[in-house]
Structure 1
């Protein structure tokens, strides 16, 4: 449970703001939404794998940008095109 102590000469608005921030960091709302309906263990594992894959791809993109200071992506060479149309 999230608790805060109201400090001396602290306004109620300030205390509420601290409480709200602490409450969000604790992840209470996220947990409530997650428990609002039953999710099978196999589905939980599948979602966790998806999340991990996305996280790894994002981290790889970030690492690639760090290694390339200009931030430019490498482009593939264009394929030669045949301008003649066959009819």
Structure 2
């Protein structure tokens, strides 16, 4: 959970900007996007497999 204390002499715009950065860094936005729609376990596994294949392909290309 992200908590933000508004500092003395801090404008609302500055506080909102700091809040957005805190939310971004904590990964809440990413988590919300990921959970927005249900994803079948097979799709999750497929995505992980494809990510691993791409990673392996890159490492093979770099090691040549």
Give the helix-richer structure, 1 or 2: 2
The TM-score, its normalising length taken from structure 2, stands at 0.70
Instruction: Provide the aligned length of Structure 1 versus Structure 2.
Output: 62
Match of 1:24 in 2: 24
Instruction: Give the distance between the partners of 2:5 and 2:55, measured in 1 at CA.
Output: 37
Match status 1:15 vs 2:15: yes
Corresponding residue for 2:2? 2
Larger relative contact order (CA 8 Å, sep ≥ 6): 2
Cα RMSD after superposing both structures: 2.4
Unaligned segments of structure 2, at least 5 residues: none
Q: Which has the larger radius of gyration?
A: 1
Structure 1 unaligned spans of 5+ = 65-87
